[in-house]
Structure formats: C-alpha cells, structure tokens
Structure 1
Amino acid sequence: MATASTTAHTSTPPSTPDGAAMSHRQIMEALSGLLLGLFVAILSSTIVSNALPRILADIGGGQSAYTWVVTASLLAVTATTPIWGKLSDLFSKKLLIQLALVIYVLGSVVAGFSTGPGMLIGCRLVQGVGAGGLSALTQVIMAAMISPRERGRYSGYLGATFAVATVGGPLVGGVIVDSALGWRWCFYVGVPFAVIALVVLQKTLHLPVVRRKVTIDWAGAFFITAAVSLLMIWVSLAGQNYAWMSWQSFVMVPAAVLLGCVFLYVESRAEQPIVPLRLFRNKTITLTSLASLFVGVAMFAGTVFLSQYFQLARGRTPTMSGIMTIPLIGGLFVASTATGQIITRTGRWKAFLVAGGLLLTAGSATLGLIRYDTPYWEVAVYMALLGLGVGMMMQNLVLAVQNQVSTADLGAASSLVTFFRSLGGAVGVSALGAVLGNRVTHFVTDGLAALHVKAAAGDSGGIPDVATLPAPVRGVVESAYGHGIGDVFLYAAPFALLSFLLVVFVKEVALRTRSGLQQAAPGTATAKE
C-alpha cells in the first residue's frame, strides 16, 4: 500500500495498515487516554458506593433502593456491552469510546441534582450505558494494538488503574461526604478528569478507520435488554414485594426465559448479530464466559456490600470505610500487575486462572464468617484473598478469549466476557441485596424482641443512621448488618467455586505474538482517526 513506506517513521501513528508492531512508547501514549477514561468511570462509581448510605439517608430509600442504585448501572452495562463491542467491529473505535465517556459524564452530572431515589436510579442507568462502552472498548482497543503474548504486561496497567480508582474513589467520596461540600459533589469531581481524557484520546489514539457495510442488530439489542431487565426485576422484588413462589414469579420467570429464547433465535438469523453464537462452538470461549458470570457475583458482592458492612455494622464514617477496604484493592492491585508481567515473560496463563479461582472461593467463604465484632485484621486477610482472586481472573479471562478469535470478532468476543461478568454482578447484587434485606429484618426483629422493644423503634425499612440510634438498639442493628452481610458472602462462595471448576477445564493455548492490527494487515483500512 502507498502508506507502507511511512510506517518506519516514529512520528507517524503506530497503527498503520501494514501492521507494523507498535513500540512500547507508542502503546503507552495510546493507552494513556484509555486508562484515564476508564479511571474516570471507575472513580465515579466507587465514590458513590461509599456515599450511598448517607445519600439515601438524605433523599430517602431503603435496602431495595440501595440495591437498585447499584444494579441499575450494572444492568445498563450488561445490556449495552455487547452492543458497544459489536459497534467497535463496524465503526470508529476512537469515536465510540469518546462518545461513551461523554454519556457517562452527562449521567454523572445530572445525578448530582437528584432529589429522590427514582431520579438517582435513572441517572445511574445513563452512567451504565457509558460505562459499558468504556469497559468493552478499552479491552477491544488494547487487543487491536497489542499481541496476546505482550498483553499481559499492559493488562497489569489496566488492573493497576482499576485498583487505584477503586481505592481512591471511596476515600475521595468519604472525604467529600464528611466535608461541607456534601454528597452531590461526588458526582461532579470526575468531570475535569473526563475532559482531560477526551483531549488525550484525541491526541494519542490513532487507529485505522475501517469502511464496510454496517448492519446493527437492533432486535437482538431489544430482546437481550428485555430479558435481563425482567430477570433482575423479579430477583430484586421476590421475597419482599411478593413471595418467591407466587403468581408474579410464575409469570416473570417464564417470560424472561421466553425473551432469552427469542434473543437466541434472532441472533441465529441476524446478518451482524450482537453476540455471534458461533463463538460458543469454541470450548474456551464458552467456559471463560460462564466463569466470568460467576466471578461477577463474587466480585461485585465484595465491592458493594463491604462498604455497608463497615458503615452499618461497625459504625465507621464513609472516609474510614474507604480506608478499611484497602486490603481488598491491594490484593487486586498486586495480583493484576504481577501476573501480567509474569504472563508476558512466560506465555503461561492458565495457572493464574486456577489459582485465582481458589483464592476467590477462599475469600468469599471466609468473609462469610464475619460479624460486626470480628477483629479487623481477620477481615483484612479475607478481603485480601478476595482481591487476589479477582485480580488473577478478571483480565486473564478476557486474555484467554481474545487469544482464540480472529480480528473481525475481537470486539464481539471481548465484550462477551465483560457482558457475562456484568450480568453475574447485576443479578448477583440484586439477589444478594434481597437476601441481605430479609436477613437484616429478621435479625433486627429478633434482637429488638429480646430487648422488649417494638420493631418500629429501630427499623423503619430505610437505611439507618447508626450514629443516631440509642445504644441498645444500635447494637442490635450493627449485629444484624454484620451477620446479614456475612450470610451474603456465604451465598456468593458457591458461585466463586463454580468459576474455579470451569477454568480447570480450560485448555491452555500458546499466546499469539501478533496484535489484532498486525493480523488484519493488509486490510481494508482507508483512513486514520
């Protein structure tokens, strides 16, 4: 091609049509904007997680609202991740990730004006649409630029960004909530970072623009969203608004299954399906996708319910709650960065998936033992185990899938893993949140009865402000949340065990040494962004 002679010059965009390998400097320049955008999304999310008890105490809402504020974003991520992934196979990846960042920021800004839980949940849906794009497209763009063999090294940077934003979010959020600024500034603080990310992406990310016929599978997008939404509504409301064995369940569950079957039928007939079903003929893709589903349950249980544990069971401030979760994030940081470097040097990755599954199971099971008065050092060890397990599995499951597919399917295949992880997290948080609500109500009722206090005096159905409760009642509420959250992790542990059993059967395939762009060359690239 005519442009081939320019590719040797270091000042030209690294992703030239002839597929020349990118230097470390070129990759890091391109990754800078990607990682900053991902940092903004994670920071905004984790800031909110630690502030939620205070937010809902201000605008109203109980455990159901708490769960839905979290799961609304996860639902949108789950429903839109496959769409973003497919769009990345058809449109400009750079334009798409910038659009995802803008959507996320707009949702965050409007969320800062929320006057009730309904408005906040709606804004979280918008945030989730943008977050789905950021999480899926970051993986896709990395796969296009970096070979599977080298990707472990750079996935470590991705894991480090995730860890820093995850630990920084609760700390920043706690400081903001405890300061004169108030909780609304939790939604505004990420805006300057987002603007910087947009500028950096524009200057540093250069990928070929592929011109080809575009067909969007809107029917598939509708049916997958409808199926997942109905399933989540049923899971979050059953046991609270109606019994598990009720007419509502007998209507909603079959309807969700029917919508799922229609989705599979639509995908089998679509010209450009959102989820190419042929990918599941590959055993590795099937096993890793299912493993991601169960990893999502354990992973999001840790990030969502531990903030409640420290604030409601141990009476800590939002700031201290963020500090006390550092062992979880430290484990994730160490595991993701160290395993990435080792995989790049050795090319071996399955052992880390298996070890991660064991640690994830151990962390979830041991966290099931916590109570409101468990010594902190024990809780810290359990959190570190969970973090190590997540760090070893999260990025390496994506790596295993990307190593199995052609360039044309990188977007769809990469988004599959994120889709199933988000689906597991969304359904898991909904179900476990319902379990927590029921267990806390049960323990509070029994505890107050033992004190000969009416239940209404200690529990109005909302998220309590523990600091304002009289001493005997406060002890009952703290004990109820400590025991209830421990039970949540016990329920999550079997799902972590399933993820371990699945990855045991994954066949290790040598990592390829050519990036997605190199595999595609000479391709159909006609312009650069």
Structure 2
Amino acid sequence: MTGTTAENGSSPTMSRRQVNEAFAGILIGMLVGILSTSVVNTSLPRIVSDLHGDQSTLTWIVTGALLTTTVSTPIWGKLADLFNRRRLLQIALAIFIAGSLAAGFAHEPTLMIGARLIQGVGTGGLMALSQVAIADIISPRERGKYMGVLGAVVVTGTAGGPLLGGFVTDTVGWRWNFYLVIPVAVIAMIVIQLKLIVPTRRGATNIDYAGSILLIAAISTLLIWLSLGGKQFAWESLLSWCLGVGAVVLIVVTLIVESKVKNPVLPLHMFRQRTFTLAVVASVSVGIVIYSVSIFLSQYMQLSRGATATGAGLITLPQVACNLIASTVVGALISRTGKWKRWLITGASLLTVGVFLLSTLRVDTPFTVIFLATPLVGLGLGMLMQNLTLVVQNSASVLEIGAASSATTFFRSLGGVLAVTVFGAVLSTRVDTEIEQGLQQAGIARSASGLTDGNLPNLPALSDQVRNTVESAYGQGVGEVFLYSVPFAVIALICTIFMPNAVLGTKTGIQQLSDIVLDTPSNDLDTVNVPRHSEKLGAEREMALAEYSGSGSDRVTSAASPPNTSSS
C-alpha cells in the first residue's frame, strides 16, 4: 500500500499522485483567496452606487480586506507551527466562505465593509497556510517546480480577476462575484480533507495572546494611517499625528513583548539568520516594485496616453505572460538542478533594468520602451517572488516554518501598502505642481480649466490645451515614481547577491519533524536544516516532542521512511 502510513506506525508517506492531488486542493484554495482581492476591482463603482455609499465606502471596501489580510498573515503562520495545518486551512476557507456570503447579501455600506474584513482574515490564512502545507509534503529540492506553478496561479488570479469580475457584473450582477467563489472554496475544503496528509500537533500550552493583540493593533494603526492619510484626513492633522505616533509606540511595545515571551507570534530570533533577514528586506523591496508597476503604469496609460481601462489592462499582458513563463520554467529548473541563487540574482537584475526603463516614461515616450520594460519586470518577478519563500523555508527550522513562510508574504504586502501610499502622495504632489505651472504658462485659471480638486481628471471633457497639460503632468509624475522605485529593485538585487548559497534540502517537513522527534543521527543534520549544536538540537527535539501527538495515519512512532514518489 503506497501513500499511507505503514501498519508499524512509520511516518506518513505520500505517492507522487497523492502529493499532486493535495497540491491541487491547496492551489484551489490559494486561487480563491487571490480572486477575492482582484475580482471586485472592476465592480467597485457599481457596488458603491447600489449600496448608496460614497468615496469613503469604496476606500474601505478595498483597504479593509487588505488590512485584515496583511495583519492576520503572520498570526496564521504562527498558528501553523502549533496546530494541524489541514484543519487551519479548512478554518480559513470557512471564514472566507462566511465573509463572501455576507458580502453577497450586504445591503448597506457598513455590512459590506464588515464582510470584507472577515473575507480578508480568511484570505490571509489561505495565503500563509498554503505555502506552509506545501512545505509539509514536498521537499525544498522538489518544491521549486511546485512554487513555480503556485506563482503562475497567483499571476493568473491577479490578472484575470478584474476581467472576470467585469464580465460577471455586466451579465448577472456584482453580487455573484462573491457567490461564485463559494463552491470553489467548498471543493478546496473537500480535496484538502481527503488528500492532504499532515501530522497532528498538540499545540503549545502558552499561546502568545499579548503579542498577537499588539501586532494586530500596531500593524492596523500603521496601515490605516498610511492608507487614509492625505485622503480622509490631512497628513499634518491631529488625527494623522496621533495615528503615526501611536503606530510607532505600538510597534516598539510589540517588539519588546515579542523579545521576552516564550512562544512569540513573530520570533525575533529569526532575524539573526542572514538568509531570513535578507529575504525579508528583499520581500519588502519587491512588494514596493510590484505595487508601483501594477497601479501607476495603469494610471500612466489612462491619464497620460488616453487609453481606456481595457487598453491599460492589455498593456500588462507581456508582463503577465513573462511572469508565468519565468515562474514555471525557473521553478522546474531549480528542482532539476538544485541551483536557486543564480535565478534570484538574474530576476532581481532584470527587475532593476525593467523599472529603470519605466522611469524614463514621459507623455511622448515611444511604446517600444513599455513593451521592452514590462516583459523584463515580469521575468524578474517570476524568478523572485515564490523563490524567496522557498529559500526562507529551506533555511528555517521545521518547527518555525509557518512563521518564517508567512513573514515573506507579510512584508511583501507591507511594502505594497508603503508603495501605494507614499508614491501615491508623491505622484499627486508632482502632478499638481506640473498642472499649475502648465496652466499659468497657458494663461488659464484653475477655476476655468474644468479640473476638480480631489478627483481624477476626465480627459474627454477637457479642452485640448488643458488635456495636453494634464497628460504631460502625469507622464512626468509617473516616470518619477518609477525612478524612486529603482533603488528598491537594487536593494532586492543586493540582498540576493549576499544570500548564503545553501543546498536545498531533500526531506519534506513531515520527515524533518520525524527526524527531530526520533533523534536524528548527527550526520543527517545538514539535510534537515537542524543546527548541529547539541544544546540547540536538544531544545528543538524537546519542543517537537511537547507539541507533537497523533493517532492513526497521522502518528509518527518510528524512524522516518523516505517518501514514495512513484506514480500510483
């Protein structure tokens, strides 16, 4: 009998077919989470109108989901180190389904925003737990090609979500954007329940409640300040100062508490490891670049080159296609050769060149530059995003792989929020300055220009002279935003260069845990990523024995056997 636990109680093994089936369930769950964030983008004006909301409603529908997704990610990751990953995935899917149902039935703005907050919590779990579950059943050496497929799904969901959402909204109504993902989520729950074989953990006796609450409060305050500053309130206002200072104080208190508790939700000692620290810095930088390109390139096409929303979306197809190719092909090559560092360096280099080309954008820049830059950005992101998580998982202790994996996602999202907020403010200031200068040179008063403060310009309604001024201003402003993004791409490149070129392990997370519990021989320690220091090993084994228990097919009671990778 393959793919199950032997009768003598050996560690659970999975055949190649069972691994692929379990991976398919994880992928479906990940796709559901991604679609929840992208499918509503094209429906937002209709949603806000039908619910009789305002601009604040639209902002919170987007920001609320982003807020809870980002804040909950590290907490889900830590829970994955304490409890059964399969149950946690199903809980995250259940929360997501509840949020989706509530959003579909919402009949006023407050209910819609609350539903999106709930949906975001489930999405955070899906994003964090999917990568942790993959680490359980697939070794780092084999994980490259699976991470490549995972990256392709991320890109497909992100790019295809707005198109799907627009079609559904125009045909059967925006509420079905929330309803349609529910049966897909149910399918994911069923597949995960039937096919994902993971150990059962008893969990820690002392959960870091204080750290969790402080982390939620700190990051929520920071994100609210960054997301709404300059829009809902002025940056120099009293509310802005209170939120900014409050965020700093809460972050400091959180770090103090996390450095003292026994089982922190964000283990600060991981930052002593060079690979983890460099990967986190690279993830922040990559997040800044990703969001800059995805948001500001669209604004450039629509407000500087007069493209429609559909046209602005189509201009990103070369980037999407190259991202898909790079993530799948490079992932397969990493699994085949075990070499990963060259691809991270190559990806960061291509990303730097691509963003530098975008920094030259102006109102009259040839489209050739865009068609050359966007594929380079796509190739760079395809080589970087999922493989940064792979490197972190390979270097982390199996007992903290959840916290380590979720950290890359968390900091990438945090970088995205910083990019949208800070660069958005830079763009707004630069555009206003350029428009004022252009109107003065043309002898046109602002009041007579047809431009409204606080709103994006409606180009077809403007006179030719004013329209040319606006298009030139946005061309200049967006180009400068990309110029400010270049240093972050360079930082990501530097981080990849200085990452230790560690060999990818050949054991799954289940086998590594079994090795710790069952007193792994010292000559095998390098392959399971457990430090050689005997005291450290003893502490990790004690933790594993304290946290691990199981029955039936989930129990480890004897020496780990290698996974059966033959086809069933």
Compute the TM-score of the two structures, normalised by the length of structure 2: 0.81
What amino acid is the match of 2:489?
A: A
Task: Measure how far apart 1:148 and its partner are.
Answer: 0.7
Query: What residue is the counterpart of 2:16 in the other structure?
Result: 24
Distance 2:287 2:327 in 1: 16
What amino acid is the match of 1:360?
A: L
Name which of 493, 497, 502 aligns with 1:504. Answer: 497
5 Å-filtered alignment, 1:91-102, equals: 91-102=83-94
1:352 equivalent in alignment to 2:343: yes
Task: Measure how far apart 1:353 and its partner are.
Answer: 1.5
Query: What residue is the counterpart of 2:512 in the other structure?
Result: 519
Query: What residue is the counterpart of 1:4 in the other structure?
Result: none
Deviations 1:168-224 (A, max 9, x none): 2132234345x3545554444433322322232222222222224443212112222
- Tell me, yes or no, if the aligned pair for 2:5 and 2:12 is still in contact at 8 Å: no
Deviations 1:410-452 (A, max 9, x none): 1111111112112111222222233333334444444555344
Distance 2:58 2:465 in 1: 25
1:495 equivalent in alignment to 2:488: yes
Name which of 66, 83, 86 aligns with 2:75. Answer: 83
**Structure 1 residues 67 and 447, CA gap change in structure 2 (3 angstroms):** farther
Task: Measure how far apart 1:116 and its partner are.
Answer: 7.8
Name which of 123, 135, 145 aligns with 1:131. Answer: 123
Distance 2:136 2:417 in 1: 28
Distance 1:199 1:369 in 2: 50
Name which of 127, 133, 140 aligns with 1:141. Answer: 133
Which range is displaced more, 456-465 or 72-81?
A: 456-465
Query: What residue is the counterpart of 1:484 in the other structure?
Result: 477
Which range is displaced more, 473-482 or 37-46?
A: 473-482
Query: SS in structure 1 opposite 2:39?
Result: helix
- Tell me, yes or no, if the aligned pair for 1:75 and 1:128 is still in contact at 8 Å: yes
Query: What residue is the counterpart of 2:252 in the other structure?
Result: 261
Distance 2:176 2:319 in 1: 25
Distance 2:41 2:295 in 1: 7
Query: What residue is the counterpart of 2:427 in the other structure?
Result: 436
Which range is displaced more, 51-60 or 320-329?
A: 51-60
Query: SS in structure 1 opposite 2:121?
Result: helix
Distance 1:444 1:107 in 2: 43
**Structure 1 residues 68 and 304, CA gap change in structure 2 (3 angstroms):** farther
Distance 1:310 1:173 in 2: 21
- Tell me, yes or no, if the aligned pair for 2:144 and 2:332 is still in contact at 8 Å: yes
Distance 2:45 2:474 in 1: 13
Query: What residue is the counterpart of 1:291 in the other structure?
Result: 282
Query: What residue is the counterpart of 1:397 in the other structure?
Result: 388
- Tell me, yes or no, if the aligned pair for 2:5 and 2:13 is still in contact at 8 Å: no
What amino acid is the match of 1:42?
A: I
Distance 2:294 2:26 in 1: 23
**Structure 1 residues 247 and 261, CA gap change in structure 2 (3 angstroms):** same
Query: SS in structure 1 opposite 2:40?
Result: helix
Percentage identity across paired residues of the two chains: 46
**Structure 1 residues 54 and 455, CA gap change in structure 2 (3 angstroms):** farther
Query: SS in structure 1 opposite 2:265?
Result: coil
Distance 1:20 1:321 in 2: 49
- Tell me, yes or no, if the aligned pair for 2:304 and 2:474 is still in contact at 8 Å: yes
Distance 2:138 2:401 in 1: 12
Query: SS in structure 2 opposite 1:518?
Result: helix
Root-mean-square deviation (CA, aligned residues, Å) is 3.2
Deviations 1:316-367 (A, max 9, x none): 4444433332112112111111111111111111111212222222222222
**Structure 1 residues 70 and 303, CA gap change in structure 2 (3 angstroms):** farther
Query: What residue is the counterpart of 1:226 in the other structure?
Result: 217
Distance 2:502 2:338 in 1: 9
- Tell me, yes or no, if the aligned pair for 1:71 and 1:430 is still in contact at 8 Å: no
Deviations 1:228-258 (A, max 9, x none): 2333333345556777567666654443222
Distance 2:103 2:227 in 1: 22
**Structure 1 residues 504 and 181, CA gap change in structure 2 (3 angstroms):** same
Query: What residue is the counterpart of 2:40 in the other structure?
Result: 48
Task: Measure how far apart 1:139 and its partner are.
Answer: 0.8
5 Å-filtered alignment, 1:53-72, equals: 69-72=61-64
Query: What residue is the counterpart of 1:6 in the other structure?
Result: none
- Tell me, yes or no, if the aligned pair for 1:153 and 1:343 is still in contact at 8 Å: yes
Distance 1:176 1:321 in 2: 20
Query: SS in structure 2 opposite 1:210?
Result: coil
Distance 1:378 1:170 in 2: 25
- Tell me, yes or no, if the aligned pair for 2:276 and 2:392 is still in contact at 8 Å: yes
Distance 1:258 1:273 in 2: 19
**Structure 1 residues 297 and 339, CA gap change in structure 2 (3 angstroms):** same
What amino acid is the match of 2:37?
A: S
- Tell me, yes or no, if the aligned pair for 2:42 and 2:165 is still in contact at 8 Å: yes
5 Å-filtered alignment, 1:36-435, equals: 36-52=28-44, 69-112=61-104, 122-176=114-168, 179-181=170-172, 183-238=174-229, 251-372=242-363, 374-435=365-426
**Structure 1 residues 319 and 426, CA gap change in structure 2 (3 angstroms):** same
**Structure 1 residues 73 and 251, CA gap change in structure 2 (3 angstroms):** same
- Tell me, yes or no, if the aligned pair for 1:82 and 1:419 is still in contact at 8 Å: yes
**Structure 1 residues 490 and 188, CA gap change in structure 2 (3 angstroms):** farther
Query: SS in structure 1 opposite 2:207?
Result: coil
Task: Measure how far apart 1:67 and its partner are.
Answer: 6.4
- Tell me, yes or no, if the aligned pair for 1:236 and 1:433 is still in contact at 8 Å: no
Distance 1:262 1:205 in 2: 39
Number of residue pairs the alignment of both structures matches: 518
Task: Measure how far apart 1:279 and its partner are.
Answer: 1.5
- Tell me, yes or no, if the aligned pair for 2:72 and 2:125 is still in contact at 8 Å: yes
Deviations 1:487-522 (A, max 9, x none): 332222222221211222111111111111011126
Distance 2:215 2:263 in 1: 15
**Structure 1 residues 488 and 184, CA gap change in structure 2 (3 angstroms):** farther
What amino acid is the match of 1:146?
A: I
What amino acid is the match of 2:447?
A: K
Task: Measure how far apart 1:149 and its partner are.
Answer: 0.8
Deviations 1:11-64 (A, max 9, x none): 6379x96345533212110011110111122123222345557767886666x8
Distance 1:176 1:510 in 2: 47
Deviations 1:456-508 (A, max 9, x none): 73224234555555655555544444443333322222222212112221111
Query: SS in structure 2 opposite 1:209?
Result: coil
Distance 1:303 1:397 in 2: 20
Task: Measure how far apart 1:104 and its partner are.
Answer: 2.7
- Tell me, yes or no, if the aligned pair for 1:150 and 1:344 is still in contact at 8 Å: yes
- Tell me, yes or no, if the aligned pair for 1:153 and 1:341 is still in contact at 8 Å: yes
Query: SS in structure 1 opposite 2:29?
Result: helix
Compute the TM-score of the two structures, normalised by the length of structure 1: 0.87
Gaps of 5+ in 1: 1-8
Distance 2:39 2:461 in 1: 24
